[in-house]
Amino acid sequence: MQMPNFRQTVYTIMAQVPAGRVITYGDMAGLAGQAHAGRVVGGIAHYGDPGLPWHRLVNRFGGLASGFHGGREVQAQLLADEGIECQNFVVVDFMERRWRPE
C-alpha cells in the first residue's frame, strides 16, 4: 500500500541527489518509506516533475532507464555532463557513484 505522500517524498529525495552521483529505484523507494516500491518510483520518475534530476536515477546494477525521456543516450549524456561515465548504458564505478545519504 502506497503512502499518500509517497510521490512528494520521492520528489524531495530526488531533489537532494547531488550532481555526479546516482541513486537506484530501490534505494529511493526505501528512503521514501516503501522499500518494495521501486517500480512505483519508476512511474513517478517517468511522469514526474521535469525540473528534477531524474537522469540520476538508475537500476540496481547502475543501468540506465530504457524509458528515459529521449532514451538512454540522453540520460548517458546528462550524466556525462556531470562527470559520470557510462559504458553500454551502465554507470562506470557505480558503487562509488551510488548516493546513500547518512
Query: Does residue 80 fall inside a structural domain?
Result: yes
Q: Do 15 and 52 contact (CB within 8 A), yes or no?
A: yes
Q: Please tell me the distance from the alpha carbon of residue 10 to that of residue 27, in angstroms, as a whole number.
A: 11
Number of domains in the chain: 1
Query: Does residue 1 fall inside a structural domain?
Result: no
At 33 the pLDDT is 94
Q: List pLDDT tens digits, range 43-89.
A: 999 999 999 999 999 999 999 998 999 999 999 999 999 999 999 99
Query: Does residue 21 fall inside a structural domain?
Result: yes
In CATH, what number is assigned to the domain containing residue 93?
Answer: 1.10.10.10
Query: Does residue 102 fall inside a structural domain?
Result: no
Q: Which three cell numbers stand for residue 73?
A: 543516450
Query: Does residue 85 fall inside a structural domain?
Result: yes
In eight-state DSSP terms, residue 23 is E
Q: How many CB atoms lie within 10 A of CB 50?
A: 7
Query: Does residue 10 fall inside a structural domain?
Result: yes
Domain coverage including residue 16:
6-97
| pTM: predicted TM-score of the whole model, two decimal places | 0.92
